[in-house]
Amino acid sequence: MKTIEDLEVTGKRVFVRADLNVPLSGATITDDGRIRAVAPTIAKLLARGARVVVASHLGRPKGEPDPQFSLAPVAVRLGEILGAPVAFATDTVGESAKATVAALGDGEVTLLENLRFNAGETSKDDAERGAFADELAALADVYVGDGFGAVHRKHASVYDLPGRLPHAVGDLIATEVGVLKRLTEEVARPYVVVLGGSKVSDKVGVIDNLLGKADRILIGGGMAYTFLAALGHEVGISLLQKDQIPTVLEYLERGKANGVEFVIPVDVAISASFPDIKTKAPVEDFEVVDADAIPADKEGLDIGPKTRALFAEKIADAATVFWNGPVGVFEHPAFAEGTKAVAQALLESDAFTVVGGGDSAAAVRILGFDETKFGHISTGGGASLEYLEGKTLPGLAALEG
């Protein structure tokens, strides 16, 4: 894949497909990590005299304008990070976009409104998607793909547009792909994978692929209760995917056959109801029990102290660690200790540590950890998982052409 150093950009309109899909509370950005991640690529292009046209999606609007998903607050924050004004186009390919792009001078930048306000962006119809890509291509001379969090999507701005313009990868995608190669090719061992999140079904592909690569797989989060149920334990009203129990049993058997150690929680923090993560109200019936002693009317919401120590021990001697998914309801203080413990274990390890985007990356920031102390924090949880599953990512395939 070509990099931005391979492109002539001075005086050219450079379309940068970024991933600025940040969480918002009203018009307030609650985590600007993805904006900060792509800013160096934009700054480098501006310094070379490019006329930069940034585009992204935000949320899941239904193919038409929806004010709650506007990128207007992102334009303001991007300008603050770049230390330069960012013009904002109030549409994607309409009159505002055309006028704003036409007004750009060398070393200036604009941000288009949410790409998903146009149905052509996410259409499954090749012709409709292609027509939107043609309109986007008319706004630019060169394409730079740097929205790693979207490269697993076959969308117009990710998959179709690169084929219509000279193209290259931005620094963020180049870094992300380099990291993922370190997790899949010539991996330094021991290789430890920590998987959390709510559902086993979300991680089926990656577990399947890692059974031939990882040395240890640590299981936490809501998905742990399906593993515990597969082992014959009562899990009360904990999150459970009964239909995944046969798959889990198969994985446990394959793990034994392949020398892959599964590490399952030995104790859990429980409550009779899901905590209020908005008010952070105290949990009156909070308690910790052994993983094989969950009462029928209680729900597991975090790993317990014995499991935290066990996970830290299993991470301590690793040479490579990949972590995807919180191991508890980290948004509430009562159930954040497990996720804190995993993050701390990564910090204390001498391993190459990768936090696999999404909720894991959010947890690191929300819980106050220094991002720079981790080997890498990915900007794309879904894209990272699909890469580790061995899938072809449409956005990367388009950039290789």
DSSP 3-state of 225: helix
Residue 51 marked in a binding site? no
Residue 202 token pair:
């979300």
- The active-site residue out of 34, 77, 298, 314 is 34
Residue 203 marked in a binding site? yes
CA distance readout (Å), 364 to 27, 249, 333, 354, 397: 23, 31, 14, 12, 30
Residue 233 marked in a binding site? no
Residue 253 token pair:
């058997």
CA distance readout (Å), 317 to 261, 351, 352, 377: 14, 8, 11, 20
Residue 118 marked in a binding site? no
CA 109 – CA 62 distance, rounded (Å): 27
- The active-site residue out of 120, 149, 304, 358 is 358
199 in catalytic set: yes
147 in catalytic set: no
CA 89 – CA 57 distance, rounded (Å): 14
Q: How far, in whole angstroms, is CA 338 from its chain's centroid?
A: 20
Residue 368 marked in a binding site? no
Residue 216 marked in a binding site? no
Residue 21 marked in a binding site? yes
- The active-site residue out of 98, 182, 199, 391 is 199
Torsion of CA 272, 278, 282, 285, to 10 degrees: 0
Residue 155 marked in a binding site? no
Residue 20 marked in a binding site? yes
Residue 300 marked in a binding site? yes
Nearest to 315 by CA among 305, 326, 307: 307
DSSP secondary structure string for all residues of 350-364: -SEEEE-SHHHHHHH
Burial of 312 (0-12, 13-18, 19+ CB in 10 A): middle
- The active-site residue out of 196, 325, 356, 382 is 382
Q: Name residues whose C-beta falls within 8 Å of residue 158's C-beta, 6 or more positions apart in sequence.
A: 17, 145, 147, 150, 151, 394, 395, 398
Residue 308 marked in a binding site? no
Q: How far, in whole angstroms, is CA 89 from its chain's centroid?
A: 26
Residue 116 marked in a binding site? yes
382 in catalytic set: yes
DSSP 3-state of 257: helix
358 in catalytic set: yes
Residue 278 marked in a binding site? no
| Helix residue ranges, H only, 234-369 | 245-258, 305-316, 337-348, 358-366
CA 299 – CA 286 distance, rounded (Å): 10
CA distance readout (Å), 323 to 19, 201, 246, 345: 21, 17, 24, 11
Q: Which residues does the annotation place in the binding site for ATP?
A: 203, 300, 331, 357-360
Q: Which residues does the annotation place in the binding site?
A: 19-21, 34, 57-60, 116, 153, 203, 300, 331, 357-360
Enzyme catalytic residues: 34, 199, 358, 382
Q: Which residues does the annotation place in the binding site for substrate?
A: 19-21, 34, 57-60, 116, 153
